[in-house]
Amino acid sequence: MSRSVLVSGGSRGIGLATAQRLQSQGHRVAVLSRKGDGAEGLLGIACDLRDPAAITAAVAQAAAAHGPVEVLVSNAGVSIDRLLLRLDDEELLEQVETNLLAAVRLTKAVAGGMARGRWGRLVYVGSVVAATGSAGQTAYATSKAGLVGLARSVARELASRNVTANVVTPGAIDTDMTAALPEARREAIAAAVPLARFGSAEEVAAVVAFLVGEEAAYVTGAVLPVDGGLGMGH
């Protein structure tokens, strides 16, 4: 069945791979980004995820085009690599607002429609560092860790309405962000992964697509790692 899907951070990387995979399965997909870029077949909507009013407007635009949002993939994220003692308040707020508060606000904006329709899928893209920690990523890890509490609380609140909520936690994934790292750093990261390689955005998208599908109807409140074993035991 074709569903109305909204993907934040859907113009590149994991978000784009996810949006394209869901679109290829016949879903009607809108993607949020700062510029409103949308690949072929995707509805691009410009949205500043730090602005509550912009989020409300973007969800309304997606619903007007594709019907009430039935699947939310909250993927957008920003990471500023900074040791805690050097982290200024603006950098902290940017990460918390984009990575966590936007997910809460998006969820609130779509949850009513899901409850009324008695069907919904909420998928949050977290990070392995939320469980393992990482020097220089205190704010990022904190904001991503908050997605687990969000998903599990919402899973309990909306279970009676046939709405599931889960978190996918990628590890070292080939994206624009990791491509910019020095080669020596990339090699060190890959060496720490039991599978000894970076993952692809498409591999993460496959897990998200599983959670969206009917095969995962009995999966809720779960945290599914896609990290090559990097975070196992956490």
Domain ranges of the chain: 4-226
Dmax (CA) of the chain: 52
In the Cβ-directed half-sphere of 181, how many Cα atoms lie within 13 Å? Answer: 17
For 76-95, how does the pLDDT look when each residue is reduced to its tens digit (9 = 90+)?
A: 999 888 999 999 999 999 99
**Among the listed residues 106, 154, 152, 129, the one whose alpha carbon sits nearest the alpha carbon of residue 8:** 106
pLDDT band of residue 160 (cuts 50, 70, 90) is very high
pLDDT on residue 208: 98
Residue 127 predicted with pLDDT over 90: yes
The answer to whether 56 and 113 have CB atoms below 8 angstroms apart is: no
pLDDT for 177 beyond 80: no
Give residue 182's pLDDT band: very low, low, confident or very high (50, 70, 90).
confident
Q: Which of 101, 140, 151, 201 is catalytic?
A: 140
Q: Identify the CATH number of the domain defined by range 4-226.
A: 3.40.50.720
| The overall pTM is greater than 0.85 | yes
Residue 66 confidence class, pLDDT cut points 50, 70, 90: very high
How confident is residue 39, by pLDDT bands cut at 50, 70 and 90? Answer: confident
Between the CA atoms of 91, 96, 102 and 103, what dihedral angle is there, to the nearest 10 degrees? 150
**Residue 140 appears among annotated catalytic residues:** yes
Instruction: Identify which has the larger pLDDT, 215 or 185.
Output: 215
Per mean pLDDT, which range of 100-104, 175-179, 192-196 is the poorest?
175-179
pLDDT at 181 exceeding the cut of 90: no
Q: Which pLDDT value is given to residue 178?
A: 79
Residue 168 to residue 221: CA distance in whole angstroms: 11
